[in-house]
Amino acid sequence: MSKPRYGIWAPVGGNFGPLDTQEEPIDASYERSRSLILAAERLGYVTTLVAQHIANPRSLELEQLETWTASAALAEATEKIEIIAAIKPLLFHPAVLAKMALGIDAISRGRFAINLISAWFRPEMERTNIPFPPHDERYRYSGEWLRVVRALWSGERVNFEGEYFKITDLSLRPTSIAKPYPRIYLGGASDPAQILAAEQADIYFINGQPIEDVRQVIKQVLNRPRSLPQPVRFGLSAFVIARPTDTEAQEELQRLTELQQREEHLKLSVAKGVDPDAVMFRLFAKNPAVGGNGGTAAGLVGSYDTVATRIAAFSDAGIDTFMLQFNPFVREMTRFAEEIMPRVQHLQPV
């Protein structure tokens, strides 16, 4: 069992779990994300994920922090934590994105990564008249897009001609500080997502779900063809509720569930914009949860010892990186660092 890497989701669209509470009012500002990520860095979290949307999926009236400008600023503001910027290939030509990423890699001195997602929210594409191909074609597009980006990150002169892109005699400078290139995460729950992750990603993100299902996903991905020399690793998204006792944790889960249910109209707004072929939303319907991207379905709800034991079990199953959500964020993120991280370390073999 390797030592887990802990990260946090940046609150670019507001809060996780219930969106607006007395303890945690809605706030999607850069100032909040900056403050939160600096606190996470001090507490020992090693990575953060900055999700990407043009508009907030829950409502056009809600604020949404822009990913790439925020990531550049966060790279300058921080010293140690990895900054992962989500990227939807439909929004950026690969040569433009590769150059932007190298810029943030330089600002961060090698602490920058991307999380490739092939898009699921139709309205932000339709309202901007950006082409939104069918699900499986989006993954073919993403696969070619990623090959171009990695080639340009190599520092060599690139000549490439594929179905979607043509690059002629282009090289980018400066080359990346991160070696051999910025880390590539990939999200998505469908077969095409797993195929692309197995072939080209460094770390495949799995949405929160029970450990038996996570083991099956890991097995499926590891059995698919791989084009890179190093093996693919795995990350897990989860919403954490940790308390001194299991009973207290379950009471908090019930409280947050009730608060989240009051915002059912926002969930319905998201559902209207989901591509019906997006597999992850079928998984969410199968495993109702507090939080986003599977949230509490991962089972990180319970006493400090319970949560630590479950993290150790996920780690033993092959999870390398835990990308976590909390509510209220600062208080619970601190609780996790002080109570859960040391317990997991104690459970690991020396």
314-328 pLDDT per residue, tens: 999 999 999 999 999
pLDDT tier, 263 (very low <50, low <70, confident <90, very high otherwise): confident
The pLDDT of residue 101 is: 98
Residue 120 has pLDDT above 80, yes or no: no
The rounded percent of the chain whose pLDDT value lies above 70 is 93
Question: Confidence class of residue 19 from pLDDT cuts 50, 70 and 90?
Answer: confident
pLDDT at 197 over 80: yes
Of residues 16 and 349, more confidence is placed in 16
The C-alpha angle 211, 344, 295, rounded to 5 degrees, equals 40
Q: How confident is the model at residue 125 (pLDDT cuts 50, 70, 90)?
A: confident
Judged against a pLDDT cut of 70, whether residue 278 lies above it is answered with no
Mean model confidence pLDDT for the chain: 92
Would you state the CATH architecture of domain 5-347? Answer: Alpha-Beta Barrel (3.20)
Q: What distance lies between CA 190 and its chain's CA centroid?
A: 16
pLDDT of residue 207: 94
Assess whether pLDDT exceeds 70 at residue 4: yes
Number of CB atoms found within 10 A of residue 227's CB: 8
| Domain ranges, ordered by start, for the chain | 5-347
User: What is the band of 209 on the pLDDT scale with cuts at 50, 70, 90?
Assistant: very high
3-state secondary structure 214-237: HHHHHHHHHCCCCCCCCCCEEEEE
pLDDT for residue 73 is more than 90: yes
Burial of 209 (0-12, 13-18, 19+ CB in 10 A): buried
Mean pLDDT along residues 256-274: 75
Q: What percent of the chain has pLDDT over 90?
A: 75
CB 293 within 8 A of CB 189: no
Once rounded to an integer, what is the mean pLDDT over residues 239-263?
A: 95
* Whether the predicted pLDDT of 281 surpasses 60: no
Mean pLDDT value of segment 179-203: 94
Is the pLDDT at 75 greater than 70? The verdict is yes
> Which stretches does DSSP call E strand in the chain?
5-9, 47-50, 82-87, 112-116, 158-161, 166-170, 183-187, 203-206, 233-239, 241-243, 301-303, 319-325
Average pLDDT over every residue of 119-140: 83
Per-residue pLDDT at 276: 66
Predicted TM-score (pTM) of the model is 0.94
Contact present, 70 and 12 (Cβ < 8 Å)? yes
Residue type, 165: F
Burial of 101 (C-beta count, 10 Å sphere; 0-12/13-18/19+):
buried
**pLDDT bucket at 33, cuts 50 / 70 / 90:** very high
